[in-house]
Amino acid sequence: MKSIDRRYLLLTRSILFTGLCSLLLHISCNDKVKAEFTVANNTNRRIDSLSIEPNGNLTGKFIILEPNETVQYKADMTGSAKTDGSYQLSYKLNSSTFQRHFGYYSNGYPSEGVTKIDIQSDTVIITYTTDNSYN
């Protein structure tokens, strides 16, 4: 009778261990990494094809900003290599394309909270915050 109890105990432990490992793997794989930005169009023209990507990977979303419009933008970094790098802002304004590298991330994770980007007709002002809320 004791040998059956030992086998049952070993089987139960094996099932619990496998379940725990599966749960931890599932939780770690669903950890989404997003860099957060507030983008303001402070021009009197429409901004087209705006995107913000880590290391200039142009695989993200493109948005349009109307004059004096402000939006929240999240760049998905979940599949990015776990390296250090910067972001690339690109957009079209007045039929011209603009690109700018800025910021810093480490090991595939954003270094800042919400980065505020103010696009003006002749410049771009970038402000870095440690706050993770869109205010």
Over residues 72-88, the pLDDT tens digits come to 999 888 877 788 989 99
What rounded mean pLDDT belongs to the chain? 83
Give SS3 for 43: coil
pLDDT value of position 134: 53
Q: What is the DSSP letter of 6?
A: H
Integer Cα distance of 119 and 126 in angstroms: 9
Closest CA to 104 of 8, 35, 43: 35
Q: Is 38 exposed, middle or buried (0-12, 13-18, 19+ CB in 10 A)?
A: middle
Integer Cα distance of 122 and 120 in angstroms: 6
Superfamily of domain 34-128, CATH level 4: Domain of unknown function DUF5300 (2.60.40.2890)
Give SS3 for 3: helix
Domain boundaries, given as residue ranges, for the chain: 1-31, 34-128
Cβ atoms 134, 38 nearer than 8 A: yes
Averaged pLDDT, 40-56: 91
pLDDT value of position 109: 87
Q: What is the DSSP letter of 96?
A: E
pTM of the predicted structure, to 2 decimals: 0.71
End-to-end CA distance of the chain: 67
